Structure 1
């Protein structure tokens, strides 16, 4: 997974109860462009 390093906002959600843990990553840059990465 290639991620640019110009993001200004990051939020991560992790559900450790699941196996493997559920991870959701939100990345946004200064122009309001956002990307969501999900691992189930």
Structure 2
């Protein structure tokens, strides 16, 4: 079953997406952090079929998890809001 099929309900309730990268390897490794409107934060691994790597209800805990493993945030945040849903989500 695809990521989309498994997570269809969650896909409509995200608030923002951040990309985090581990630049220490020859091929940088990327994780996707999704902040949900319910206040949860989930890290997904796009290379493993969007498998959940880590989840918490506190953004700082997720950020600490990433920083502990020396991940660096890719500049910008893909953010959804009511106005953006009428057209396109924005990168801030």
TM-score, scaled to structure 2: 0.33
CA-CA distance at 1:15 after TM superposition: 3.5
Task: Give unmatched runs, 5+ long, in structure 1.
Answer: none
Q: 18, 29, 33: which one pairs with 2:25?
A: 18
CA RMSD of aligned residues (A): 2.3
CA-CA distance at 1:31 after TM superposition: 1.2
More strand by share: 1
Q: Distance in 2 between matches of 1:18 and 1:6?
A: 33
Q: How many residues align?
A: 39
Aligned residue number for residue 6 of structure 1: 13
- Give the structure, 1 or 2, with the largest relative contact order (CA under 8 Å, sep 6 or more): 1
Task: Give unmatched runs, 5+ long, in structure 2.
Answer: 48-92
Q: Which has the larger radius of gyration?
A: 2
Q: Distance in 2 between matches of 1:17 and 1:29?
A: 29
